[in-house]
Every structure is written in structure tokens, then in C-alpha cells.
Amino acid sequence: MSTYRVIRGLKIRDYTTNPDNPLEGQLWYNKTDQVGKYQIPNVTTAWRTQTSINSARWLAASSGTETAALIAGGEDPSNSPVAKTETWNGNTWTEVNDLNTSRLGFANTIGTSSSTVAVGGSPAKTENESWNGTSWTEVADINTGRRYFGGGGADNTAAVVFGGAGGTTIYAQTETWNGSSWTEVNDLNSGRRNVVGAGIVYTAALAMSGKPPPPSSVTSVEEWNGSNWTEIADVNTARTYAAASGSSAKALFYGGYGPDNSALTESWNGSSWTEIADLSTARHGLMGAGTLNTAALASGGYDGTRLSSVEELAVGAGVGAWSTSTDMNTARYQQNSAGTSQSAAIAFGGYDGTTQLAVNESWNGSAWTEVNDLNSGRRALGGAGNSTSALAFGGRSSAISPSTRTEIVESWNGSTWTETGDLNRYTKECGGVAADNTAAIAIGGSKSGSPENDSRCETWNGSSWTEVNDLNSARRAGTGVGTTYTAAIYAGGYESTFSAKNESWNGSSWTEVGDLNTARHTLDGTGSQSDGFVFGGDSSPGKTAVTENWNGNNWAEVADLNQLRGSLSGAGTTTAGLAFAGNIPPHTAATEEWNGSSNLTKTIDTD
């Protein structure tokens, strides 16, 4: 008989409470609680907002995966059928060549983004068009014209369609496609309209829910094995106009109508259906994409109006968490920082309530150490770079600038600060992004006069600053996120009120991209232009602990800081980050460490 030690290579030990750093899967006995305990990864399943399609619509054809999808046709907000086609590459939707015939109500989810067929449509069309990744070509019609029916298949040479309606007739007919013609094969056991299908090959598919006569939706599910349909386990909630994706063994069924717009998502594991995370927006007539039950795309649809919004599902994603770490030596706020790692960073300048500081501290992954100070004490300064090569620029210091703003720049070489070429403007509360002290961008900020908010930006080449294209929206006290001065985002800030705006920099110009979920200023952020996160800040009605993750397209809220605070600083990445100092009030020296994954402690006898 195998023992735990043989299987895991570990003994079961006794602890007064819990071990400080248990291994995943480790068992231990908690003497205080008098129970055995263990840890498992903390994961979540959720739909996340993605980039919207260009043309709002519902009842379109769809195909592909969550990272490479296609939608075609549908009905637009003017109640008109359209021929528009869009493809998704995981980041953006691009309009490509139109269908030859405008229509809606196709068979759903057949093939890939580069090889599919658009079959049938309302009111009872027989048209069939084949997509080769570039254009649509009219090919052989289906035998039975219909709308609102299910489908599945690998590509434009192998597909199966089933069910649907034509006029008042509800069909059970099934047809298969071989790339040149359609063949009638064995019918569904129960004819129905608004049925949806899942299947990545034409010989294995699912037909889910829908409306048989009389017109009430059913929970019935049938499985196709290439020859016959067999009734299998029902979905939990009957719906019509839903979306589906995946295979006959691993599928998802989401959205729909019954008896109102639905956000429900159900997952199929080959034997049963389980309800998982709801869509953010309840809708029906939406378009699905995906090949498994662990990831999907839900596009468009109808919730009272035709939608352009898109959501992406991630199943079992790791849940990050902030944990308390070692305090800084000097409590402060409005400082700045540099560091691309959780184990190496510096924090410089700031304000302790009475004095504008020159203090500089270095973090080694476990403790803060005071190192050589800035030459000029200041607060609300910009900063960027890494722990051994960084810049500090601008800021507020009554000692060096009567206007309360300064243009002074200092360069850090890992041991000392040296004054170098000044900015072209006096500024404070500006953002910054740099890999090191030889190339940087200073973003926005606060200028003298009215209006105070500044849209100007400057880049640094190691010896001088050059004015470049402005932000689209003048702001101060936002945060720059990026690992290089040619690829960055600038998020949040203050306009006439707290801002949620986010702009992306490509090295020559700024483009407005997805807004933060929580408008705020005096926040900080870390990471890259395509994988970053921001945390803390001042918002309404006060300080916030909210942390948001940026995937290059949209923001999603993740675990909050342990302390509400603004005017804080950070370093690291989205998987291993730091947040430190700031104003609670009062000013704080607290440090928190971010881990992109976390664990849950479970009790053997109850969990």
C-alpha cells in the first residue's frame, strides 16, 4: 500500500498552526485546530471584456477560436441584414471581404477563421458560401433551406448542420458537407429551431436546447457520432438564440433567451453539464468561438439593442494576491521608483509631511537599505528605469524652484545620482517609462498657469530631451507602464476630475485604448505595454486599493491591495510586483508584494 511519503516524498508533520511556506499538495496537521490541512492553487473562471467588433450585430455566422475568430453577416441596429465580415487575431477585429449575400440566422460555429462555410439564413435560405481566408465563394446550396440551426465541422470541406426552421416548419433534418455537395443523413430525434451546435469535426457534434413544437424551449441535448443522434444529459437551463463552442466531448453553452436575456454559461465534460461563470452582459443572438470548454469568445448579440461588445472566457486562471512585506526606512508619499523586478528596486524623493525628501532606498527582495540621496530633495517627481540605471525628473521643490516645479533631471548609475540634461519644461506629477537611464519618455504632468494639466511629452536619448507628440488628453498624476520608451501606456490621472483614460504609445504617437474600470489619479503601475497592471490611487470617494490587469486590450480587476492608498510607487511585473509607500493618510512605509498566483488552504475533514 502506498503512503503519502512514498507518493509525495514528504512526511506529514505537525504544526502549531500552519507552515509558513507549504508546498502545493503538502499535507500537515494543525494542532491548534486539530485537523489535517493542505494547499491547492487558487483559480477562477470568468468572462473578461475584450475589444469590441467594428459593427454591432446579432445572428451572424461565427467560427474559430478565442484567439483567431471570424464573424459574418447578421442584422445591424437598423434591422437590416448585412454582409460584413470581420476577423479576430487575439487583439483586434479587422473588416475583410463581405459575403456575397447579406443575411442572418446561419448555422453556427463551423470551421476556423480561415476556412469555413456560411450556410442558410432567414427566412429559409439555401445559400452556402465558402471562405478561404480571403474571400467568399458561392458553392452548392443545402438541400433544405432554413434559419436558426446548429452546425459543426473542421473547415470549409467538412461540416454538419441540423435542425432549424423554415416559415412555420420546424426541422429535424441533418445534412453533411464534403466540400462540394450536401447529403441528407439521419435526422435529430427531436426537430427544433434555435438549436445551437458544437463540434470541431463533422462526425462528432452536439445539438443543444432550442424550440421544438409547441414553441417552448427545451433542455434536451443530442450527440452525433457521424451516423446517428443519441439523447444524452440535458443542459441545466433551456434557452434559445444561445451560443455554443467546443467539441462533442468538451463544450460550452452560453447566453441566449429564456425567459429573458441570459448570462448563464454551462460547461460539458463529456458526461454532464455544470454552470460556471456568467457573461458580464446577458444577451441572446450572440456569436461564439472556441474549440474546448476552457476558453471561448462571445461577440455581439442583442440585449434590447444590437451589441458590439465582446467577452472572452478563461477557465481555471490563477488568482493573484498581495501580501505584506518589509517596511521602508522612511515613510513618505509622492516619491518615485525604478525597477523591473520584485527583487530589485529603488525609491527616491517624496514628502514626509514637512520636508521634500532626497532620500533614496534600495530593495533587495527582502529589505530596504538607504543608499546615496538625490542631489535635490523633491516630491511629485517623475522616474523610470531599473534599480541600477534610472532617471529622476521634474517634481516640486521650493528650495530649487520658486514656481514649485522644476526641470531638473538626475541620472542613477547604481551608486550615485548625477545631474544631467534638463527637461524642456518645468513640471511635476508627470509619468515616465524607461528601460534604463539612456532612453526614456516623460509623459504629461502639471504645468504652471491655466489650464494646469499638461499633454506634452518628451523623449530622452542619453544626453538631451526632445519634444514629441502630445497625449490626446492632457492629464496629471497618471501612471506610465512599459519596459521601453518606444512602447508604453499612460493610464488614469486627473483632468477636471478623476480620469479612467488610457493611451498607448508606439514610439511616435498616442492612441486612445481601453479605459480603466476605476477612474483615479496618484496611482502607480508596472509591467509592459501589453501585460501590465495598476494599483491604488485617489478616486471617489477617497483612496482606493483596486488593482487592475491590462492584457493589451482591456482592463480586469484583480485582487486589491491590503491598504487603501494614493501617491504610492511600484516595481516588477504582473506575476511578481511591489507596491510601497504612499498616503493613507498619513504617509506610510508599508510594502506589499504581488504574486500572480496564490493558494487556498483546505481542511481535510470538512472541505
pLDDT at 22 (0 to 100) = 73
pLDDT of residue 62 exceeding 60, the answer is: yes
The one-letter amino acid at 104: L
Q: Is residue 441 part of a domain?
A: yes
Q: Are residues 293 and 352 in the same domain?
A: no
- Domain membership of residue 16 as a residue range: 4-40
Q: Are strands 27-30 and 13-15 parallel, antiparallel or unpaired?
A: parallel
pLDDT of residue 599 exceeding 80, the answer is: no
pLDDT of residue 435 exceeding 60, the answer is: yes
Radius of gyration of the chain (CA): 29
Q: Is 7 helix (H, G, I), strand (E, B) or coil?
A: helix
User: How far is C-alpha 77 from the geometric centre of its chain's CA atoms?
Assistant: 27
* Residue ending a domain, choose from 318, 347, 379: 318
Q: Is residue 606 part of a domain?
A: no
The one-letter amino acid at 42: N
List alpha helices for 319-404, DSSP H.
none
Q: How many CA atoms, within 13 angstroms, populate the side-chain half-sphere of residue 470? A: 9
Helices then strands (H, E): number in the chain? 1, 53
Strand partners, 423: none
pLDDT at 317 (0 to 100) = 81
DSSP one-letter code for 6: H
Q: Is 96 within 8 Å of 136 (Cβ atoms)?
A: no
Rounded CA-CA distance 113/69 in Å is 5
Please calculate the CA angle 137-138-142 and round it to the nearest 5 degrees: 135
What is the reported pTM? 0.80
Rounded CA-CA distance 254/279 in Å is 8
* β strands within 424-575, DSSP E: 431-436, 439-446, 453-460, 465-468, 479-484, 487-491, 502-505, 510-513, 524-527, 532-535, 547-550, 555-558, 569-572
Q: Are residues 291 and 349 in the same domain?
A: no
Q: Are residues 296 and 357 in the same domain?
A: no
Q: What contacts 76, CB < 8 A, 6 or more positions away?
A: 55, 56, 57, 82, 306
* β strands within 16-149, DSSP E: 27-30, 35-41, 43-50, 61-64, 69-72, 85-88, 93-96, 116-119, 128-131, 136-138
Residue written as cell 487603501?
Answer: 564
Rounded CA-CA distance 454/165 in Å is 60
Which three cell numbers, joined as nine digits, stand for 287?
456569436
Q: Is 495 within 8 Å of 477 (Cβ atoms)?
A: no
Which three cell numbers, joined as nine digits, stand for 326?
518589509
Which tens digit of pLDDT belongs to each residue from 132-169? 999 999 999 999 999 999 999 999 999 999 999 999 99
Q: What is the mean pLDDT of residues 93-104?
A: 98
pLDDT at 24 (0 to 100) = 67
Q: How far is CA 437 from CA 293, 445, 503, 506, in A?
A: 47, 20, 23, 20
* Total of domains in the chain: 3
Rounded CA-CA distance 511/603 in Å is 50
Q: How far is CA 162 from CA 107, 255, 286, in A?
A: 8, 20, 19
Rounded CA-CA distance 107/148 in Å is 6
Kindly report which listed range (36-50, 104-118, 344-358) carries the lowest average pLDDT score.
36-50
Q: Is 252 within 8 Å of 290 (Cβ atoms)?
A: yes
Q: What contacts 3, CB < 8 A, 6 or more positions away?
A: none
Q: Which helix (H) or strand (E) holds 8?
A: helix 4-8
Rounded CA-CA distance 564/566 in Å is 7
Q: Are residues 514 and 571 in the same domain?
A: yes
pLDDT at 602 (0 to 100) = 81
| CATH number of the CATH domain containing 308 | 2.120.10.80
pLDDT of residue 6 exceeding 60, the answer is: no
* β strands within 202-250, DSSP E: 204-208, 221-224, 229-232, 243-246
Question: What's the CA dihedral at 370, 375, 377, 379 to 10 degrees?
Answer: -90
Q: Is 42 within 8 Å of 597 (Cβ atoms)?
A: yes
Q: Are residues 249 and 155 in the same domain?
A: yes
What is the chain's mean pLDDT, rounded?
94
User: How far is C-alpha 136 from the geometric centre of its chain's CA atoms?
Assistant: 32
Q: Is residue 327 part of a domain?
A: no
Please calculate the CA angle 519-524-530 and round it to the nearest 5 degrees: 85
Which tens digit of pLDDT belongs to each residue from 363-374? 999 999 999 999
Rounded CA-CA distance 607/591 in Å is 33
pLDDT at 40 (0 to 100) = 76
Q: Is residue 324 part of a domain?
A: no
Q: Is 559 within 8 Å of 325 (Cβ atoms)?
A: no
Which tens digit of pLDDT belongs to each residue from 528-562? 999 999 999 999 999 999 999 999 999 999 999 99
Q: How far is CA 301 from CA 57, 71, 193, in A?
A: 6, 12, 18
Rounded CA-CA distance 555/91 in Å is 13
Q: Are residues 578 and 518 in the same domain?
A: yes
pLDDT at 470 (0 to 100) = 98
What backbone torsions phi and psi does residue 268 show, to the nearest 5 degrees?
Answer: -110, 130
pLDDT of residue 29 exceeding 90, the answer is: no
Q: Is residue 602 part of a domain?
A: no
Q: Are residues 61 and 86 in the same domain?
A: yes
Q: Are residues 392 and 536 in the same domain?
A: yes
Q: Are residues 36 and 70 in the same domain?
A: no
Q: Is residue 123 part of a domain?
A: yes
Q: Is residue 588 part of a domain?
A: yes
Q: Is residue 386 part of a domain?
A: yes
Q: Are residues 69 and 159 in the same domain?
A: yes
Q: What is the mean pLDDT of residues 512-534?
A: 96
Q: Are residues 471 and 532 in the same domain?
A: yes
Nearest CA among 235, 166, 242, 247 for reference residue 203? 247
Residue written as cell 479605459?
Answer: 515
Q: Are residues 560 and 430 in the same domain?
A: yes
Rounded CA-CA distance 357/579 in Å is 19
Q: Are strands 576-580 and 569-572 parallel, antiparallel or unpaired?
A: antiparallel
pLDDT of residue 11 exceeding 80, the answer is: no
